[in-house]
Amino acid sequence: MYPPKFDYYRASSVDEALSLLQQHGANAKVLAGGHSLIPMMKMRLAQPGVLIDIGRIDELKGIRVEGDTLSIGPLTTHAAIAASEDVQRLATALSDAASVVGDLQVRNRGTIGGNLAHADPASDLPAAVLALGGEIEARGPAGSRTIAADDFFQGLFTTALDENEIITAIRVPTGQGTRVSAYVKFPHPASGYAVVGVAAVLDIAGNKVTTARVAANGAFECAKRLAGVEQALSGADATAEAAASAAEHATDGFSADDFMSDIFASADYRAHLLKVYTRRALQKALERA
């Protein structure tokens, strides 16, 4: 299927892209890697009259360590994130998630910024960025602002981004050398999307978990933290037994209506998988301690 006709602009800078967004308003969409937007256009689920291609803006690419923060340009591909030694070392859950996005072609062209802005509930990166306590920097006509990942994902394909804003950076705190993290998922056998995916980030001192951030995607309409698991792990022993016990709290605070349901996996099945994959994510993180 072919998308409707549209006008195409290639922006050479962030300022030019923002100017084009203001000029064309709600009729315009930003194109990064295109692996989310183009399929939606082909299925007529999105019908923008204008595409603004930001894919060649070099200032939006790259991975840098800035003190105790990992800064990632929004046009950095999933493959580059998965291969980065800095990401593998300092934000392992993000490396795990990037390595299992889609297939080889998607990982080589798809970008972290486009992925987060699209906010597909079954995508892998939102849970990892959320669990890692990341921040999203966005720039619009009024200037730049920073949005905590906790506030960024608001619902089904819905984020805190204004329609005339562009993501300019993703920043992730790296911890103080006692942080371990992991991401695991149960993939849909046809699409590879997460039926349920869980990211776990643990700060460990001695043999105790001092703080925990755990987030899931696929189960809900957007990535969400699992507060019951986090509370159960706070101050607990850093053991597989404690992880298994905490994972039983994965569904705490959620009702049956909160869980996604489709022809492949019911809400009850996703709730079951959430406990299973929370346990696996926690145990994988602990193995890295």
Tell me if residue 110 falls in helix, strand or coil: coil
Same domain flag for 246 and 206: yes
- Please identify, among 173, 208, 228, the residue that sits at the C-terminal boundary of a domain: 173
User: Any residues with CB less than 8 A from the CB of 263 and at least 6 apart, and which?
Assistant: none
- Please identify, among 173, 200, 222, the residue that sits at the C-terminal boundary of a domain: 173
User: What residue type is 162 in one-letter code?
Assistant: D
Segment holding 69, helix H or strand E: strand 69-72
Q: How much is the pLDDT for 26? A: 87
Token pair in block for residue 60: 């939006």
Same domain flag for 92 and 110: yes
Please indicate, yes or no, if residue 76 is contained in any of the structural domains: yes
Q: What is the DSSP string of 205-220?
A: ETTEEEEEEEEEESSS
User: Tokens 């989310």 appear where?
Assistant: 36
Angle at 236 between CA 234 and CA 239, to 5 degrees: 130
Please indicate, yes or no, if residue 94 is contained in any of the structural domains: yes
Supply the CATH number for residue 204's domain. Answer: 3.30.390.50
CA distances from 264 to 30, 67, 100, 180, 195 (A): 32, 44, 20, 32, 9
Supply the CATH number for residue 159's domain. Answer: 3.30.465.10
Token pair in block for residue 226: 């699992």
Q: How much is the pLDDT for 36? A: 81
Same domain flag for 70 and 169: yes
Distance in angstroms (rounded) separating the CA atoms of residues 194 and 267: 14
Same domain flag for 40 and 67: no
Domain containing residue 109? 59-173
Q: How much is the pLDDT for 45? A: 82
Sign of CA dihedral 13, 18, 23, 29: positive
Distance in angstroms (rounded) separating the CA atoms of residues 33 and 70: 22
Same domain flag for 39 and 110: no
Q: What is the pLDDT along the chain (289 residues), one digit of tens a residue?
A: 678 899 999 999 999 999 999 999 889 999 998 878 888 888 888 888 899 999 999 999 999 999 999 999 999 999 999 999 999 999 999 999 999 998 888 899 999 999 999 999 999 999 999 999 999 999 999 999 999 999 999 999 999 999 899 999 999 999 866 899 999 999 999 999 999 999 999 999 989 999 999 999 999 999 999 999 999 999 999 999 999 999 999 999 999 999 999 999 999 999 999 999 999 999 999 999 8
Same domain flag for 237 and 280: yes
Same domain flag for 160 and 79: yes
Same domain flag for 214 and 229: yes
User: What residue type is 65 in one-letter code?
Assistant: V
pTM for this one?
A: 0.95
Please indicate, yes or no, if residue 2 is contained in any of the structural domains: no
Same domain flag for 161 and 246: no
Same domain flag for 185 and 98: no
Please indicate, yes or no, if residue 201 is contained in any of the structural domains: yes
Total number of domains in the chain: 3
Please indicate, yes or no, if residue 195 is contained in any of the structural domains: yes
Same domain flag for 283 and 230: yes
Token pair in block for residue 241: 């037994």
Same domain flag for 88 and 108: yes
Supply the CATH number for residue 36's domain. Answer: 3.30.43.10
Token pair in block for residue 150: 């906790």
- Please identify, among 173, 207, 232, the residue that sits at the C-terminal boundary of a domain: 173
Angle at 114 between CA 10 and CA 90, to 5 degrees: 125
Please indicate, yes or no, if residue 1 is contained in any of the structural domains: no
Give the number of other CB atoms < 10 A from CB of residue 220. 19
Distance in angstroms (rounded) separating the CA atoms of residues 232 and 210: 11
